[in-house]
Chains A and B, each alone.
Chain A
Amino acid sequence: MSEKSADWTSGEAAIRYQSCAACGSVQYFRRGFCAACGATELAEQRASGEGTVYATSLVCRAATPETRAHVPYNIVLVDTPEGFRMMAHGDNDLAIGDRVTARFVPFAGRLVPFFEGREE
């Protein structure tokens, strides 16, 4: 079992994923085993922070006082070149297919990944 490395879910400005030594699968939601083959030999990897927008939804009505202070904010699903999909925030004008790069911004008391359009 690999040791845990800090990422944005624990307040560190990084996106991490796991890759399986046995079958080569990659996974974004951290676990102690590979969800594809069950092997426990996983390598913790740091993602490049690059990706392509898969889907977007601009949240205009939030449910808590902390998140309401940020509306509107754009929730995006981004496909990474490393092979996993992740949810994040992004520029409000992002469109599906846009090439994006991550930075990290404060949101409702946390640090979250925020994707902005990349100049080609």
Chain B
Amino acid sequence: MSFITGVGLTSYGKHEGSSSLDLMSKAAALAIADAGLTRAEIDGILCGYSTVSPHIMLATVFAEHFGIRPSYAHAVQVGGATGLAMTMLAHHLVDAGVVRHVLVVGGENRLTGQSRDASIAALAQVGHPDYEVPLGPTIPAYYGLVASRYMHEYGVSEEDLAEFAVLMRAHAATHPGAQFHDPITVADVMASKPVALPLKLLDCCPVSDGGAAFVVSREPTGEARVRVRGCAQAHTHQHVTAAPALSELGAEIAIARAKAASGVAISDVRYAAVYDSFTITLAMLLEDLGLAARGEAAARVRTGYFSRDGQMPLNTHGGLLSYGHCGVGGAMAHLVETHLQMTGRAGNRQVRDASIALLHGDGGVLSSHVSMFLERVR
């Protein structure tokens, strides 16, 4: 058994002068306070990576900086899936009795700490060094390839994809911490600058500074009782050249395993937090997870199904697309928002019922997947 006992999140966007360690520390302090714990009670640390300040031992660098001497600590790296992978590991660590309270933390000054080109070039290295990177692809190009094929096989249009950017922006408008608040339309997305077609600028998440953290504990520490009901992973490939057919991608495998591990069905889910690095990522994952039929996720966006007051509220903070993406912390914001929703603390963004939530993270080019069900316990 494990519980998410506290969460912390900074605003995303520009944090001029803040280092990755500063942003991690800020989020960590918020999460520990939210759990009602002291630093000394944290006996495990899991952290992600920083492309701005790479280090072979980031967890102990952070522990020393933050002032903790944990009995268990290391970094985890699975790209965008890192946050949920760390949560899954923390769940198993406290469940096995290895530690009592694990601090899961990610943060990076990716926007102001390096040029945007440097960020894009660093991320393109997830490609194959001999057979892909020399061709000059970018992360948007890897996903652009997937998008072209998905649109071809399932009759999805660029306007369909644009709906997801519009939805995430509408959600971000109600969160003061989001990087973008100005409303956008499908026409704005269609008219935005081409990046790696069919993906245009507003189909892509931004580069951000920010930090996010949570505490995973063996027992609840207060009123907020959010339990990890079950989780699972799937890793089918690293490089898009070696990806399986669209019908055999890892999200479907991970969600099937998570359902089996938790006994939760998609029909039980009341809130969804799904990785959205690009509009195509979100469209595909929603359909892979069973939250929409194949090729029909956009239609569900248009009917309000995924809106705050819809049947399946989705990424009510604005997601990577509009809250922002600071690397590992990016998708951790999805879990922070889910926790706020499940504990009735989401303020003007509060949904009616978030008693059972489905979270899904994706790393690489749909390479690494983590599915997780959270449950509010009375």
Contact = CB atoms under 8 A, between A and B. Distances in A.
A63 B148 CA distance: 21
A86 B135 CA distance: 11
Residue of A57, A70, A87, A112 with highest tally of chain B CB at under 10 A: A57
Nearest to B121: A63
A87 B194 CA distance: 21
Given A96-B149, A112-B135, A87 B241 contact: yes
A120 B148 CA distance: 24
A56 B124 contact: no
A67 interface: yes
Contacts of A89: 135
Interface in B140-173: 140-142, 144-149, 152
Interface residues of B, number: 34
A87 B117 CA distance: 22
Contacts, number: 105
Interface stretch (B125-133, B178-186, B222-230, B327-335): B125-133
Contacts of A28: 131, 241
B17 interface: no
Contacts of B136: 59, 62, 64, 66-67, 70, 73, 75, 107-108
Contact of B145 (A9, A29, A30, A77): A77
B242 interface: yes
B146 A9 contact: no
Interface in B193-219: 193-199
B241 A77 contact: yes
A75 B121 contact: no
A54 interface: yes
A115 to B, nearest CB: 12
B241 A75 contact: no
A64 B121 contact: yes
Interface string A27-47: 011100000000000000000
B367 to A, nearest CB: 14
B117 A57 contact: no
Interface of B: 117, 120-121, 124, 128, 130-132, 134-138, 140-142, 144-149, 152, 193-199, 239-242
6 contacts: A59-B196, A62-B136, A75-B141, A75-B145, A87-B132, A107-B134
Interface of A: 9, 28-30, 54-64, 66-67, 70, 72-73, 75-77, 85-89, 96, 107-108, 110, 112
